Structure 1
Amino acid sequence: MQFKEIVGHQSIKNHLINSVKKNRVSHAQLFLGPEGSGSLALALAYAQYINCEDKQEEDSCGLCPSCRKYEKLIHPDLHFSYPFFAKGKDETATTYMNEWRKTFLTNPYLGLNYWREQLDSGNKQANINIAEAHDIIKKLSLKSFEAEYKVLIMWLPEYLDTQGNALLKLIEEPPEKTLFLLVAENQDKIINTIISRTQLVKINKLQHEEMNNYLISEKRLDPKRAKEISFIADGNIQEALNLLNEHGESETFSMLVNWLRFIVTDNGKELISLTEDKLSKLGRENQKSFLLYTINMMRQIILMQQGLKNLVFLQEEELAFVEKFSGLFQFEQLEEAIDILERTHYGIERNGNAKILFLDLSLQLVLLFKYQTFPTRRDSII
C-alpha cells in the first residue's frame, strides 16, 4: 500500500513521511479515525514507507523486495492483529490470515461489519482474545527476519478489552526496532493504560469533495450520482461502497421530499402507502442509507437555520429544499427529528421489522412537525 493509493489526507501523509525523514518514529502510535476514513490503509502505507529500501521523496518506491511483499501482505516482519469470531479459546488472528489478506486487498477501507461478512461468524461477538495477546508477545520477541523494523498493526484495539493489560509492558518497552501501530475508531472504548503509552495520529473523515472525486475517477460514477452517495456516506468510503453495491437507479431525494410532504400534511393514506410499498421494500442497506441521507439533510437544514449557509455544500434542488424547510420548523424540532431518525437507523441495523419501524418513525414525525408534539421514548416502539 502506497500513500498515493489512499484517498485524501495529504497533511497526514506529509506528517508521517516527515517523521521518518527526521528519524522521529514513535514506537507506539494510535491512528484514530472514523470507519471508512482510510486510517488502516494509512498505517500500512506508513509501515511500508519505513521499511522501503529505496524511499522516494513523497512515497515508498513500490518496487523493492520489501515493498513487493508489503503489497501482498506477506512480509515476514509485518504482523496484523484484528477482531475475529473465535470458535475456540486457542484461536488467534493468524488462524484467519488468509481471509484477512483477501479482504484487505479487496477493500482497504473495510469496516467491522464488512469483515464479519467475510467470515462464518454466526452470532459470535468480535474479540481480540488472550491467546492473541500471548501470540503477539511471542512473535515480537523474535528478531527481525529481513527488515529494519518489525511492525504490528492492530486494527480496532477497542475489542482488546482487559486482555490488553498483557501487552502493556511490551508496548512501553518493546524490543529494539519494533513498531506498534494501533488503528482505532473509538478512543473511549480503548483501555486508558494503552492510550497513555501511544502517540496519537488524528485522522478526520474524508471531505465531501475528496469522496466525490474518488467516486467519479475510481468508480466511474456520473457527477450527480457521486454527489448523492458522497452526501449519504459522509466521509465513510465503506458506506459509499455499500451504497454502490445496493443502489439501483437513485430516487432518494424525490422519495424524501414526498415522504416529508405526507408527514407535514398528515396525509395518512399516502404515508402508509409509501411506507409499505417503498420504504419497507428497499432492502436493509438502502433503508439505512435513506435514513442517513435524511439525517444529513436535517443537519444541513440546521446549518442553514443558524445562519451558516457557507457550510452548506448542497446545490440546486437540494439547496432550495433546505432553504425552504429551514424556515418552517424550530431548531428543537429538527434536533428531535434527528434523534428519532438515529434510533430508527439503529433498529434497522439490528434487523428490526422495517415496515413497523418506518411506520412508527413516520407517525412520530407527524406529531413533531404537524402538531408540534414532542414524542418521548415511551411513545415509540423503537
Structure 2
Amino acid sequence: MQFKDIVGQEAVKKHLIQTVKDERISHAQLFLGPEGSGSLVLALAYAQYISCENKEEKDSCGLCSSCRKYNKLVHPDLHFSYPFFAKHKEDTALTFIEEWRKAFLANPYLGLDEWREQLSADNKQANINIAEAHSIISKLSLKPFESEYKVLILWLPEYLEKEGNALLKVIEEPSQKTLFLLVAQNQEQILNTIISRTQLVKIPKLKTQEIEDYLFNHKNIEQTKAKQVAYLSNGSLQTALHLLTHQENDYHDIFLNWLRACWGNNGLQIVTYTEGDLAKMGRENQKNFLRYGINLMRECTLFMAEAPGLIHIPEKELEFISKFSQVLSLAKAQAIANELEKAHYHIERNANPKILFLDVSLILVKILKFNTLRHTADSIIL
C-alpha cells in the first residue's frame, strides 16, 4: 500500500513521511480515526515506506522486494493482529490470516461488520484473546528477517480487554527496531495503560469532496450519484462503498415526494408511497433512505441556525433545504429527524416496512400539517 493510493489525508501523510526523514519514528503509535477514514491503510503505507529499499521523496517505490511483499501482505517482518471469533482457546490472528489478507486486499477500508462476514462468527463476540497477546510477544521477540524494522499493526485495540496488560512491557520496552502501530476508532474503549505508552496520530474523517472525487474518478460512478453517496457517507469511504452496493434509487426525489404527500395530508398518495416505493425498495435501501432523510433534516437545522459554514451538500439538496426551511420551524425539523431515527432503528430490527412507513407518515402529517409533535421524552414539544 502506497500513500498515493490512499484517499485524502494529505496532512497526515506529510507528517508520517517527515518522521521517517527526521529519524523520529516512535516505536509505539496510535492511529486514531473513525471507520472509513483510512487509519488502517495509512498505518500500512507508513510501515511500507519505512521498510522500502528505495524510498522516494513522498512515497515508497512500490517496486523493490520489500514493497512487492508488502503489497501482498506477505512480508516476513510485517505482522497483523485483529479481533476474531475464536472457536478454540488456542486460536490466534494467524489462524485467520488468509481470510484477513483476502478481506483487506479486497477492501482496505473494511470495517468490523465486513470482517465479520468473512468469518463464521457462530454468535461469538469479537475479541483479541490472551493466546493472541502471547503470540504477539513471541513474534516480536525475534530479530527482523529482511527489513530494518519488524512491524506489528494491531487493528481495533478496543477489543483487547485485560489481556492487553500482557502487552504493556513489550510496548513500553520493545526489542530493538520494533514498531507498534495500533489502529483504533474509539479512544475511550482502549486501556489507559496502552494509551499512555503510545504516540497519538489523529486521523480526521474524509471530506465529502474527497469521497465524491474518488467515486467519480476511480469507481466510474456518475457525478450525481457520486455526490449523493458522498453526502450520505458522513466522511467514511467504507460507508460510501457499502452504499454503492445497495443504493438503487435517487433518494432525493423519493424523499421530497414523500414529504409533499405528508404535507398535503394526501392519504391515498401516502398509502401508495408506503406500500410501493418505500416498502419495496429493500431493507438496506430503506436504511439508506432514512439515513438520507436524517442528514437532510440536520442540514435544515443548520440552515435555520444560520450556520452556512457547516453546510456542505450538493446543490439539489441545498435548494431543497433553503425552500423547505421557510415553512419549517427548528422544532419541526428536529422532530422529523427524531422520527426518522426511530424508523431506522426499527428497520434494522426487521420491522414490517409497510406498517412502519405508514405509521411514520401519519406522524409526519401531524408534525407538518397540524403542528403536533409526539409527547415523548426525546421529542421537542411545541
AA at the equivalent of 2:3 = F
Contact kept? 2:247, 2:288, Cα under 8 Å: no
Structure 1: which amino acid aligns with 2:298?
Answer: R
Q: Does 1:337 align with 2:343?
A: no
Q: Read off the aligned partner of 1:3 and give its amino acid letter.
A: F
Paired residue type of 1:245: T
Distance 1:94 1:191 in 2: 23
Superposed CA offset, 1:165-218 (max 9, x none): 211122111111111111111112112221121111111111111111101110
Aligned to 1:291: 290
- 1:378: how far off? 9.3
- Name the CA shift for 1:137/1:326 in 2 (closer, same or farther; >3 Å): same
Equivalence map 1:24-39=2 (5 Å):
24-39=24-39
- The 3 A distance-change label for structure 1 pair 364 and 376 is farther
Q: What is the alpha-carbon distance in structure 1 between the residues aligned to residue 159 and residue 343 of structure 2?
A: 26
37 and 327 in structure 1: CA distance in 2 versus 1, 3 angstrom threshold: same
Mean Cα deviation higher: 97-106 or 112-121:
112-121
Structure 2 vs 1, CA of residues 368 and 11 (structure 1 numbering), >3 Å: closer, same or farther? same
From the superposition, tell whether residues 132 and 266 of structure 1 become closer, same or farther in structure 2 (CA, over 3 Å).
farther
Counterpart of 1:8, as a letter, is G
Q: CA deviation at 1:310?
A: 4.0
C-alpha displacement of 1:342: 2.9
By how many angstroms is 1:79 displaced?
Answer: 0.6
Contact 1:81/1:153, CA 8 A, preserved across alignment: yes
The residue number in structure 2 matching 1:49 is 49
User: Judging changes above 3 Å, is the alpha-carbon distance between structure 1 residues 303 and 283 closer, same or farther for their aligned structure 2 residues?
Assistant: same
CA displacement, residues 239-267 of structure 1 (integer Å, 9 cap, x when unaligned): 1111222223x321111011222333343
The worse-fitting range, judged by mean Cα deviation, of 368-377 and 109-118 is: 368-377
Pair 1:60–1:368, CA change in 2 (3 A): same
Q: State the partner residue of 1:303.
A: 302
Deviations 1:113-159 (A, max 9, x none): 11111222232221111111111111111111111111111111111
How large is the RMSD of aligned CA atoms in angstroms? 2.0
Q: Larger deviation: 232-241 or 46-55?
A: 232-241
Q: What letter matches 2:279 in structure 1?
A: S
Q: Hey, what does 2:224 align to over in structure 1?
A: 224
1:287-336 deviation digits (Å, cap 9, x = unpaired): 22112211221122122111223443334432221001222233233234
Would the aligned equivalents of 2:228 and 2:314 in 1 still touch at CA under 8 Å? no
Change (3 A) 1:325 1:235: same
Aligned AA (1:331) = L
* 2:5 match: 5
Matched AA of 1:21: K
- The aligned residue for residue 128 of structure 2 is 128
- Which residue identity does 1:214 align to in structure 2? Y
Indicate conservation of the 8 Å contact 1:368/1:375, yes or no.
no
Partner secondary structure for residue 200 of structure 1:
strand
* Aligned twin of 2:242: 242
Structure 1 residue matching 2:31: 3-state secondary structure:
strand
Change (3 A) 1:100 1:22: same
Find the residue that maps to 2:288 and give its secondary structure: helix
CA distance in 2, matches of 1:155, 1:356: 41
Distance 1:365 1:165 in 2: 51
- What is residue 180 of structure 1 aligned with on the other side? 180
8 Å contact 2:231–2:314 — kept in the other structure?
no
| Range with greater deviation from structure 2 (314-323 or 364-373) | 364-373
SS in 1 for 2:279: helix
Distance 1:282 1:166 in 2: 49
Provide TM-score, normalisation by structure 2: 0.93
Match of 1:99 in 2: 99
| CA distance 1:46–1:252, change in 2 (3 Å) | same
Q: Which 5+ residue runs of structure 1 have no aligned equivalent?
A: none
Listed as ranges, the matches of 1:79-90 within 5 Å are 79-90=79-90
Change in Cα spacing, 1:292 to 1:66, as seen in structure 2 (3 Å) is: same
**What does residue 275 of structure 1 align with?**
274
Q: Which runs of at least 4 in structure 1 moved beyond 6 Å after TM superposition?
A: none
The percent identity for this pair of structures is: 59
- Could you list the runs of 5+ residues in structure 2 that have no partner in the other structure? none
Please, which moves more after superposition, 199-208 or 158-167?
158-167
With the length of structure 1 as denominator, give the TM-score of the two structures. 0.93
User: Which segment drifts farther, 198-207 or 10-19?
Assistant: 198-207
| Partner AA of 1:62 in structure 2 | G
Deviation at 1:6, TM superposition (A): 0.4
In the aligned structure 1, how far is the partner of 2:328 from the partner of 2:30? 42
